[in-house]
């Protein structure tokens, strides 16, 4: 009986110690989780803020949260925000977080007749990032003024693309991403910033580099004769990178272009494509 009481007292002490350890562990776990919970509270507050800028910044930062279902859901919800800045930020975030399941939703935004070109471009960029080649269609439309299907753009979309203020709003951001602009010097830079439309079409041409659709190749060939030297240069650069030597006869005339930078781009493009053709022939002969 005495041993039983001693054993029970020992067990009770062990249980008490165990209870303290478990309580401490739970407390530590709660403390570890608290910063994340607080962080979500901050993000939710930003997403619900009355300020358009605050909502746009908050949703854009969701792009850091890859493979996070909650972040994906919040970004998808923000696609329906009443302000285009927020919708564009949401589309960008979905691409950054690699939310492949969101590609159909981004396509729905484009097909819904979205009037804001910044939102259209953000959706298209993210679709391409997520592996949905339909995103190239937006850039094709910007470059050519027509849909890939052959139909015309909606009246609202045509108006959008011809609105200098709308084009200027995102033209610099899109156009400066075109790598060759880095070497055109200060004068060219000033021309770039004064031209509302050409930088956007140039950026569209650059993105179509990766579109395997033959329609895009033909659109780039035609863009090589665009009235804007910036667009001509971008189109030739893209054709060179696509690596199809069959376009050489269609761009050889650009060696006589009135703009020196276009002539140089055409020359480099033709050399690159010619070398590509030679390599292809050599590989076939060695097989």
Q: For 192-231, b where at least 16 C-beta lie within 10 A, e where not — what string?
A: beebbbbbbbbbbbbbbbebeeebbbebbbebbebebbbb
Average pLDDT on 258-287 reads 75
Residue 46 included in any domain = no
Residue 221 included in any domain = yes
DSSP-assigned beta bridge partners for residue 152: 146
| pLDDT beyond 80 at 248 | yes
Residue 216 included in any domain = yes
| pLDDT grade for 181, boundaries at 50, 70 and 90 | very low
What does the pLDDT look like over 193-202, one tens digit per residue?
A: 455 567 778 8
What does the pLDDT look like over 50-88, one tens digit per residue?
A: 988 888 888 888 888 888 889 999 999 999 998 988 998
| pLDDT grade for 7, boundaries at 50, 70 and 90 | low
| pLDDT beyond 80 at 268 | yes
Between 171 and 207, residue with greater pLDDT: 207
| pLDDT beyond 90 at 152 | no
| pLDDT grade for 107, boundaries at 50, 70 and 90 | very high
| pLDDT grade for 252, boundaries at 50, 70 and 90 | very high
| pLDDT beyond 70 at 175 | no
Question: Apex CA 267: angle with CA 265 and CA 272, to 5°?
Answer: 95
* Residue 144 CB neighbour total at 10 angstroms: 20
Number of domains in the chain: 1
Rounded Cα distance between 76 and 69, Å, is 10
So what's the pLDDT on residue 157? 56
| pLDDT grade for 165, boundaries at 50, 70 and 90 | low
CATH code at position 234: 1.25.10.10
Residue 258 included in any domain = yes
What does the pLDDT look like over 28-53, one tens digit per residue?
A: 554 444 677 787 888 888 889 898 88
So what's the pLDDT on residue 221? 96
So what's the pLDDT on residue 15? 52
Residue 47 included in any domain = no
Residue 157 included in any domain = no
So what's the pLDDT on residue 220? 96
Round the average pLDDT of the chain to a whole number and report it: 76
Q: Among residues of the chain, what percentage have pLDDT more than 90?
A: 27
3-state DSSP: the chain helix, strand, coil percent, rounded to 5?
A: 80, 0, 20
Q: Among residues of the chain, what percentage have pLDDT more than 70?
A: 67
Rounded Cα distance between 184 and 259, Å, is 12
In residues, how long is the chain? Answer: 287
Which domain, by its residues, includes 246?
Answer: 171-287
Between 270 and 275, residue with greater pLDDT: 270
Between 261 and 126, residue with greater pLDDT: 126
3-state secondary structure of 250: helix
Residue 38 included in any domain = no
| CA nearest neighbour of 206 among 192, 185, 223 | 223
Rounded Cα distance between 78 and 80, Å, is 5
So what's the pLDDT on residue 145? 75
Residue 186 included in any domain = yes
Between 224 and 152, residue with greater pLDDT: 224
């Amino acid at each position: 009986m005495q041993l039983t009481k001693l054993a029970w007292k020992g067990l009770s002490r062990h249980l008490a110690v165990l209870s303290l350890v478990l309580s401490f562990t739970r407390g530590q776990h709660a403390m570890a989780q608290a910063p994340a919970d607080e962080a979500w509270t901050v993000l939710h507050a930003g997403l619900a803020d009355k300020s358009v800028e605050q909502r746009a910044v908050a949703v854009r930062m969701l792009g850091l949260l890859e493979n996070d279902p909650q972040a994906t859901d919040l970004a998808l919800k923000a696609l329906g925000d009443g302000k285009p800045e927020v919708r564009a930020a949401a589309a960008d975030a979905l691409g950054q977080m690699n939310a492949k399941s969101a590609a159909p939703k981004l396509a729905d935004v484009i097909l819904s007749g979205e009037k804001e070109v910044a939102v259209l471009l953000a959706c298209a960029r993210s679709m391409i990032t997520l592996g949905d080649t339909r995103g190239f269609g937006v850039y094709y439309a910007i470059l050519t003024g027509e849909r890939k299907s052959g139909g015309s753009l909606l009246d609202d979309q045509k108006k959008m693309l011809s609105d200098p203020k709308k084009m200027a709003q995102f033209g610099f951001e899109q156009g400066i991403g075109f790598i060759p602009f880095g070497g055109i010097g200060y004068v060219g830079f000033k021309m770039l910033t004064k031209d509302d439309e050409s930088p956007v079409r140039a950026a569209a041409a650059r993105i179509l580099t990766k579109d395997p659709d033959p329609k895009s190749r033909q659109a780039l060939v035609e863009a090589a004769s665009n009235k804007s030297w910036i667009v001509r240069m971008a189109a030739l650069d893209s054709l060179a990178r696509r690596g199809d030597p069959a376009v050489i006869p269609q761009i050889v005339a650009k060696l006589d272009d009135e703009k020196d930078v276009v002539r140089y781009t055409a020359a480099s493009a033709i050399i690159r494509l010619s070398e590509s053709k030679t390599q292809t022939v050599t590989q076939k002969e060695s097989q």
